[in-house]
């Protein structure tokens, strides 16, 4: 299992609020290379499948609605220790609890509209990357 890749989405609030350039700058500045990147909008079926692990959680319906509400950027990123380092860069799920200087502290609106996704394991990074990109789209 590769330990040097992670998967991210810049979520609809980040795009809507004009933060996509600043967040991509932070990602590159933190030493991540871009292996694949696309500007797209999730269908309801895609959002439901991507977040299927949360299907029983009370926020699932709202999460699917929000994640399909506007365009996102999906990307596969590369760096040593990518999953953990990226989670550190983005900060806690709830921006109120996120460390100073993290993406979510700077740009998230709320625990739901929290600007960015980051995979939580090497296994999920691979699954999530493959969900959004075909082999030929990965540099
Ligand atoms: N989420 C939410 N309410 C919650 C917890 C999570 O709306 O109480 C949303 C939020 O957008 C979060 C996503 O569901 O990023 C996935 O939740 P997870 O616990 O996996 O957080 P993450 O891994 O994104 O930090
Ligand atoms: Mg998660």
Task: Indicate the DSSP class of residue 73.
Answer: E
CB 125 within 8 A of CB 3: no
Q: For residues 34 and 22, what is the distance between their CA atoms, to the nearest angstrom? A: 15
Ligand 1 mutation pick, 9, 66, 95, 112, max ligand atoms within 8 A of CB: 112
pTM: 0.97
Ligand 1: residue whose CA is nearest its atom 11: 112
pLDDT at site 3: 85
Around ion ligand 2, residues with a beta carbon closer than 5 Å are 120
Low-confidence residues of the chain, pLDDT below 70?
1
Which residues belong to the active site?
Answer: 117
pLDDT at site 47: 98
- CATH, residue 39: 3.30.70.141
Task: Indicate the DSSP class of residue 56.
Answer: T
pLDDT at site 1: 61
Quote the ligand 1 centre to 63 CA distance (angstroms).
8
Atom nearest to 67 CA in ligand 1: 11
- Counting the structural domains of the chain, the total is 1
pLDDT at site 73: 98
Instruction: Provide the residue range defining the domain that includes 24.
Output: 5-137
Ligand 1: residue whose CA is nearest its atom 9: 112
Ligand 1: residue whose CA is nearest its atom 25: 93
Q: For ligand 1, which residues put their CB under 6 angstroms from it?
A: 54, 59, 63, 93, 111-112, 114, 117, 120
pLDDT at site 2: 76
């Amino acid at each position: 299992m590769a330990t040097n890749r992670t998967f991210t989405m810049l979520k609809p609030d980040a795009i809507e609020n004009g933060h996509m350039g600043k967040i991509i700058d932070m990602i590159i500045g933190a030493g991540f290379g871009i292996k694949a990147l696309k500007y797209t909008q999730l269908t309801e079926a895609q959002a439901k499948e991507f977040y299927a692990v949360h299907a029983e959680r009370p926020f699932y319906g709202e999460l699917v609605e929000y994640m399909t509400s506007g365009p996102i950027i999906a990307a596969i990123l590369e760096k040593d220790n990518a999953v953990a380092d990226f989670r550190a860069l983005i900060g806690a799920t709830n921006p109120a609890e996120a460390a100073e200087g993290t993406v979510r502290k700077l740009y998230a609106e709320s625990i739901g509209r929290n600007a960015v996704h980051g995979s939580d394991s090497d296994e999920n990074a691979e699954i999530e990357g493959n969900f959004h990109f075909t082999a030929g789209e990965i540099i």
